[in-house]
Amino acid sequence: MARMPLVTASIVAALAFSIGASVADDAALRKQAQEFFQPLPSDMAAPEYPVTKNQAHLGRLLFFDPRLSIDANVSCVTCHQPSLYGADALSKSIGVKQRVQARNAPTVLNAALNLAGNWRGDRENVEHQAVVALTAPGSSGQPDERAVIGRLEQIAGYAPLFNAAFPNESHPMTVKNIGKAIGAYERTLVTPSAFDAYLGDNPNALSAAARAGLETFIKIGCVACHNGVGVGGGMYRKFGIVEDYWVATGSQDIDRGREDVTKDPDDAYVFKVPSLRNVAMTGPYFHDGSVATLPEAVQVMARVQLGAKLDDAEISNVVAFLNSLTGGLPAEFAMAPILPPGAVVVRKQ
| Options 247, 293, 309, 313; binder of its own copies; rule CB under 8 A | 293
Q: Are 249 and 290 in contact (CB under 8 A)?
A: yes
Comparing CB distances to its own copies, the nearer of 72 and 306 is: 72
Which one, 21 or 254, has the nearer CB to its own copies? 254
Stretch that binds its own copies, among 121-129, 188-196, 212-220, 248-256 (CB under 8 A): 248-256
| Of the candidate residues 97, 171, 176, 309, the single one contacting its own copies (CB under 8 A) | 97
Residue from 250, 307, 309, 313 in contact with its own copies (CB under 8 A): 250
Q: Which is nearer to its own copies, 106 or 228 (CB)?
A: 106
Q: Decide if 4 contacts 41 (C-beta within 8 A).
A: yes
Among 134, 218, 248, 291, binds its own copies (CB under 8 A): 291
Q: Which long-range contacts (CB under 8 A, 24 or more apart) does 21-24 make?
A: 21/219, 22/219, 23/215, 23/218, 23/219
Single residue of 253, 266, 311, 312 touching its own copies by CB under 8 A: 253
> Could you tell me which of 1, 225, 268, 256 has the C-alpha nearest to residue 113?
1
Report which residue type is found at 109.
L
- Contact assessment for residue 230 and residue 277, using Cβ atoms and an 8 Å cutoff: yes
Give the range of 4-12, 67-75, 158-166, 233-241 binding its own copies by CB under 8 A: 67-75
- The reply on whether position 67 binds its own copies by CB under 8 A is yes
Select 57 or 92, whichever has its Cβ closest to its own copies: 92
* 90 binds its own copies, rule: CB under 8 A: yes
Determine, following the binding rule CB under 8 A, whether residue 31 of this chain makes contact with its own copies: no
Q: Pattern of binders to its own copies over 206-245, x per CB under 8 A?
A: ----------------------------------------
Length of the chain: 349
Contact residue for its own copies among 41, 137, 200, 337 (CB under 8 A): 337
First-to-last CA distance in the chain? 52
* CB of 322 vs its own copies, minimal distance in Å: 12
Q: Does 71 bind its own copies (CB under 8 A)?
A: yes
Q: Tell whether residue 345 is a contact of its own copies (CB under 8 A).
A: yes
Q: Minimum distance between the CB of residue 1 and its own copies, rounded to whole angstroms?
A: 28
Q: How far is CA 157 from CA 52, 74, 174, 342, 344, in A?
A: 19, 20, 15, 8, 13
Task: Return d(Cα 198, Cα 193) in angstroms, integer.
Answer: 9
Which of 221, 289 has the CB closer to its own copies? Answer: 289
Give pairs for 76-84: CB < 8 Å, separation 24+: 76/108, 76/130, 76/133, 76/182, 79/105, 79/139, 80/105, 80/107, 80/108, 82/329, 82/333, 82/334, 82/336, 84/281, 84/282
Find the binder of its own copies among 18, 32, 78, 110 (CB under 8 A): 78
Q: Is 83 one of the binding residues for its own copies (CB under 8 A)?
A: yes
Q: Which of residues 135-164 bind its own copies (CB under 8 A)?
A: none
CB-wise, 99 or 128, nearer to its own copies? Answer: 99
Least distance (Å) between residue 338 CB and its own copies? 6
Mind giving me the DSSP string for 29-75? HHHHHHHHB-PPPS---BTTB---HHHHHHHHHHHH-GGGSTTS---
Would you say 32 or 249 has its CB closer to its own copies?
249
By CB under 8 A, name the binding residues for its own copies. Answer: 64-67, 71-73, 78, 81-85, 88-94, 97-98, 100, 249-253, 255, 280-285, 288-293, 329, 334-339, 341-349
